[in-house]
Structure 1
């Protein structure tokens, strides 16, 4: 459902203006090839939500201008620009107005190339800002469809942290795993020296090319994750994430992966997770485990001893509170009080979250 169309909030020069925000994630808990409800194979993933870094967008709509007169700042955000153009066409149709041009301005602090969903975050923020300029709030499945058209595959950031198995190349939910993930404490780090991963250079396989044994293995992990969410079993969740991460090494081949898992075992973690299309990784802890602070300190020291840079220690509890209380983050208005510079060379730096 969408709201009734209303004029966007007037911006500079009295033009209708909309804002949007989208979060990031911290890589995946599970990624592989699965079967949908009709038995068809699909690439799918379950992301690990993380509060903090995100993308803000502001769109100034210029009625009466041709739709190709659409600009974006920074100018290198081509995927967000495509998303904005597609959303203008969608919203103009819904509002019975002619498509027009405008200016999209993006700001954000998500590290690029680490597998944290920076491009999807830009795209979704852009979609929400354009829709907001028309006085519309597009449903999540429409946002997902527009995002896939803009960037060919997208992360489920439009769903605001709910644990779902998501077909990233099709923009649809394969399964809602439950209302919330079991609570986790995550010690984040980067592999491969933190260098961005060129996902286009990775070996590409279609779901049809996956072997039957491989699909069955992923379906077993899916069933285990479903059970972990239903029962709040943090240890079982960690087992699934570690198994998925290990499978991902067949493509990523991070030289530090065995050291990462060894550090996790010694620190009493429940497992590890990685970004299957990036360098970010995490050591997963049960927040109810005794001596948690000591375990986390041991983990950070162990990572340092293996020259694996620790980036942030965070908990999923903030995200889960949002989901379980039913209080959705604002999709339209961007976060206030954040003044980030824009420009083609604007660096995206990882925002260090408070350590435990």
Structure 2
């Protein structure tokens, strides 16, 4: 008897640079739900390769690195989904994951792994899963997920439900983002943070920010987007309490940034600049120097333009944010630098 042939599939997922807006919003039925708008960024990402072995029991699933438990759950869920669609029995296999998305900075490292794995499993079955299906599987695998399975259109996304609350428009206003890592880039244990309680006045405030962000996207207004991001970041500090936050906002004010942006579940942050501002490169260099002189690690400067542009204007960031261990590739993971 000839053994069934092994079948391989690969999948990729990008990262993001934290949130522009996060809070509690009303869905189309008027129900409250947590939601967020992320800041897309090209560069770091997750890659998965799944080799499925037809005829083996589905619980026989090898995963490298071995402690990617969320990714392993995602693989099992994706196998069940794809096998059902193909009218086959679920089977086991081997899963390999490599990622250079920094862990603990709030850039979607776990969601990146999960989505790459789901896509790799689907590829091994020759199945193309719709983004809402990928989102549903991701939420089941990790309880909440970022909208990395979608395209780069700005959306208000219910991260605990895996659904889009609103498509805000075709693209974000053009921005230059001078990225940095607060707290020395130390990972944030989001599971140890208290769950914030939001009352009706909080929801009204978040809805006002949602309206302003919708207007910023519709008009391409970088200054208005910066105002929303700064307000959201300030609200996030009620929970995260980054000691450098006041320094960050002071640098933004002094050097003419339109606002600041901070991951609500991590330490990555950014100074937001209007690319149409006078002496832009001088402003970028000034932001880099100001951050470094205040002991804030500079990571990467990038834009939200359709074709990502890098600003070569500063020392390379030489540290790796992703901690070494069985959960990581051995090559240093770092954010491409200025």
Q: What's 1:258 paired with?
A: 246
The answer as to 2:279 corresponding to 1:291 is yes
Q: What's 1:218 paired with?
A: 206
Alpha-carbon deviation of 1:15?
1.4
Alpha-carbon deviation of 1:353?
2.9
SS at match of 2:8: strand
Of 176, 179, 182 in structure 2, the residue corresponding to residue 191 of structure 1 is: 182
Of 215, 223, 231 in structure 1, the residue corresponding to residue 219 of structure 2 is: 231
Equivalence map 1:145-184=2 (5 Å): 145-184=136-175
What are the superposed Cα offsets for residues 158-184 of structure 1, whole Å, 9 maximum, x if unpaired?
A: 003220000000000000001111111
The answer as to 2:125 corresponding to 1:134 is yes
The answer as to 2:44 corresponding to 1:31 is no
Q: TM-score, normalised by structure 2?
A: 0.92
Partner Cα separation in structure 2 for residue 144 and residue 320 of structure 1: 26
Q: Which runs of 5+ in 1 are unaligned?
A: 1-12, 322-340
Q: What's 1:346 paired with?
A: 329
Partner Cα separation in structure 1 for residue 30 and residue 308 of structure 2: 31
Equivalence map 1:1-356=2 (5 Å): 14-205=5-196, 209-318=197-306, 344-346=327-329, 349-353=332-336, 355=338
Partner Cα separation in structure 2 for residue 351 and residue 197 of structure 1: 17
1:233/1:345 CA distance change after superposition, 3 Å: closer
Alpha-carbon deviation of 1:277?
0.3
SS at match of 1:138: coil
Partner Cα separation in structure 2 for residue 63 and residue 243 of structure 1: 52
Partner Cα separation in structure 2 for residue 319 and residue 78 of structure 1: 35
Partner Cα separation in structure 2 for residue 107 and residue 67 of structure 1: 22
1:353/1:263 CA distance change after superposition, 3 Å: same
Alpha-carbon deviation of 1:108?
1.2
Measured on the aligned residues, the alpha-carbon RMSD in Å equals 1.7
Partner Cα separation in structure 1 for residue 186 and residue 78 of structure 2: 33
SS at match of 2:149: helix
Partner Cα separation in structure 2 for residue 349 and residue 117 of structure 1: 18
Matched residue count: 321
Is contact 2:17-2:39 (8 Å) kept? yes
Could you list the runs of 4 or more consecutive aligned residues of structure 1 that deviate by over 2 angstroms after TM superposition? 318-321, 341-355
SS at match of 1:166: strand
Partner Cα separation in structure 1 for residue 235 and residue 124 of structure 2: 43
Alpha-carbon deviation of 1:298?
0.6
What are the superposed Cα offsets for residues 96-137 of structure 1, whole Å, 9 maximum, x if unpaired?
A: 000000111001101101100000000000000000000011
SS at match of 2:248: helix
Alpha-carbon deviation of 1:226?
0.2
Partner Cα separation in structure 1 for residue 333 and residue 304 of structure 2: 17
Q: TM-score, normalised by structure 1?
A: 0.87
Q: What's 1:6 paired with?
A: none
